[in-house]
Structure 1
Amino acid sequence: MSKRPNGKWRARFRDAAGKEHARHFARKADADQWLAAQTTAVVRGDWVDPALSRVTVAEWSKVWLATKAQLRPKTIEKYESSLRIWVLPRWGDVPLNKITHADLVKWVAEIQEGRSPQHTRHTLLVMSQMLRLAVRDGRLTRNVADGVPKPRAARPVQRFLSHKEVAALAREMPAPYDILVVLLAFTGLRFGEAAALHVGDVDLDRARLTVNWSVTELRGGVLYRDAPKTYRRRTVPIPAFLATRLAELVAGRPDDASVFSGSKGGPLRNSNFRHYFFDPAVRRAGLEPLTPHNLRDTAASLAVASGASVKVVQRMLGHASAAMTLDVYSGLFDAELDDVADRMGADASEAMREWRPGGDDRPSGQ
Structure 2
Amino acid sequence: MAYGEKRGYDKKARKWRYRGRYKKPDGTWGSVSKDDEGQPFYTERSAEAYAHGLETDVRRKTFLDPRNGRITVQEWSELWIESVELANRSDKTYRQRLRTVILPKWGKLAMGDVTTVAVKTWEQQLRKQYSARYVKSVMSIMRVMFDDAVTSKVRADNPVPTLQSRRRGKFKGKQEHDEVVIATPRQALLLARNAEAMRGIVGYTLVLTIAYCGLRISEVAGLRREHLVLDDHGQGCRLLVQEQSQYVDGEKQQVPPKYGSTGSIILPPFLAGLLRQVLASHGKEWVFPSPTGKKMDTGAYFYADIWRRWVDGHQAVPDRQGRPARLPGMRAVAGIQDIVPHGLRHSMKVWLDELKHPRVAVEERMRHVLPGVEGTYSHTTLAMELDIAADLQKLWETALGVKDHHREWEAPRPRRKRHRELKLISQESPTALTVDPAEADTEGGEVA
Normalization by structure 1: what TM-score? 0.76
The letter for the 2-side match of 1:293 is: H
Tell me the residue number matched to 1:105: 120
In 1, are the aligned partners of 2:64 and 2:155 still within 8 Å (CA)? yes
Give CA deviations for 1:117-165 in whole Å, capped at 9, x if unaligned: 33223222222222222222222122233555279897432312233x3
**Partner AA of 1:236 in structure 2:** I
Find the aligned partners of 2:220 and 2:5 in 1 and give their Cα distance. Answer: 76
Q: Which amino acid aligns with 1:195?
A: A
Question: Residues 287-298 of structure 1: matches in 2 within 5 Å?
Answer: 287=333, 288-298=337-347
Q: Do the aligned partners of residues 136 and 300 (structure 1) sit closer, same or farther apart at CA in structure 2, a change above 3 Å counting?
A: closer
User: In 1, distance between residues paired with 2:189 and 2:224?
Assistant: 24
Query: What code does the residue aligned with 1:292 have?
Result: P
- Matched with 1:229 is 258
Count of matched residue positions in the alignment of Structure 1 and Structure 2: 321
Match of 1:157 in 2: 180
State the secondary structure of the residue aligned to 1:47: coil
Q: How does 1:30-179 map to 2 (within 5 A)?
A: 30-68=46-84, 70-146=85-161, 149=166, 155-163=178-186, 165-173=187-195, 174-175=199-200, 176-179=202-205
> Is structure 2 residue 239 aligned with structure 1 residue 209?
yes
CA–CA distance in 2 between the matches of 1:26 and 1:304? 67
Query: How far off is 1:10 after superposition?
Result: 6.8
Going from structure 1 to structure 2, the CA distance change for 1:177 and 1:42 (only over 3 Å counts) comes to: same
TM-aligned CA distance change 1:235 to 1:52, over 3 Å: same
In structure 2, what residue type is equivalent to 1:243?
A
DSSP-derived class of the 2:308 partner = helix
Q: 1:181 aligns with which of 207, 210, 226?
A: 207
Amino acid at match of 1:291: V
C-alpha distance in structure 1 between counterparts of 2:254 and 2:69, whole Å: 39
SS at match of 1:149: helix
Counterpart secondary structure, 2:260:
coil
Amino acid across the alignment from 2:28: K
Aligned equivalents of 1:3 and 1:246: distance in 2? Answer: 81
Offset of 1:201 from its aligned partner?
A: 1.2
**Which runs of no fewer than 5 residues in structure 1 stay unpaired?**
326-366
Q: Residues 228-307 of structure 1: matches in 2 within 5 Å?
A: 228-251=257-280, 257-271=285-299, 272-282=301-311, 283=313, 284-287=330-333, 288-304=337-353
SS in structure 1 at match of 2:108: coil
Shift in alpha-carbon separation, 1:266–1:124, aligned structure 2, 3 A = same
Any idea what SS the aligned residue of 1:12 has?
strand
Offset of residue 196 of structure 1: 1.4
Q: Which amino acid aligns with 1:161?
A: T
The CA distance in 2 between the partners of 1:3 and 1:184, in whole Å, is 71
Equivalent position amino acid for 2:240 in 1: T
After TM superposition, give the deviation of residue 202 of structure 1 in Å. 0.9
CA contact (8 A) 2:180 2:339 kept: no
What SS class does the counterpart of residue 216 from structure 1 fall into? Answer: strand
How far did 1:277 drift?
Answer: 2.8
**Higher-RCO chain (CA-CA 8 Å, sequence separation at least 6):** 2
Q: What is the deviation of 1:91?
A: 0.7
SS at match of 1:290: coil
Shift of the alpha carbon at 1:252? 9.6
CA–CA separation in structure 1 for the residues paired with 2:371 and 2:22: 56
Q: Using structure 2 for the length normalisation, give the TM-score.
A: 0.63
Deviations 1:50-74 (A, max 9, x none): 2222111111111111122x31222
Deviation at 1:205, TM superposition (A): 0.8
For residues 148 and 215 of structure 2, what CA distance do their matches in structure 1 show?
Answer: 36
Extract unaligned runs of 5+ from structure 2.
9-15, 34-40, 314-329, 376-448
Q: For residues 315 and 20 of structure 1, what CA distance do their matches in structure 2 show?
A: 58
1:178 Cα deviation after fit: 1.2
Say whether the 8 Å CA contact 2:4–2:44 is kept in structure 1: no
* C-alpha distance after superposition, 1:209-248 (max 9, x if no partner): 1111122357x86434322224232111222222222223
SS at match of 1:16: coil
Match of 1:342 in 2: none
Q: Which amino acid aligns with 1:156?
A: E
Q: Residue in 2 aligned with 1:17?
A: 26
Given the superposition, is the C-alpha separation of residues 54 and 257 from structure 1 closer, same or farther in structure 2, using an over 3 Å criterion? Answer: same
Q: Contact conserved, 1:58 with 1:88, CA < 8 A, in 2? A: yes
* Aligned-partner Cα distance in 1 for 2:292–2:225: 18
C-alpha separation between the residues in 2 aligned to 1:5 and 1:135? 31
Once the two structures are TM-superposed, the CA of residue 2 in structure 1 deviates from its matched residue by 7.5
Query: What is the one-letter code of the residue matched to 1:53?
Result: G
CA contact (8 A) 2:32 2:66 kept: no
Change (3 A) 1:146 1:199: same
Q: 1:150 to 1:211 in 2, by over 3 A?
A: farther
Task: Judge conservation of contact 1:314–1:322 (CA < 8 Å) in 2.
Answer: no
Tell me what 1:337 maps to.
none
Q: What is the CA-CA distance between 1:4 and the residue it aligns to?
A: 6.7
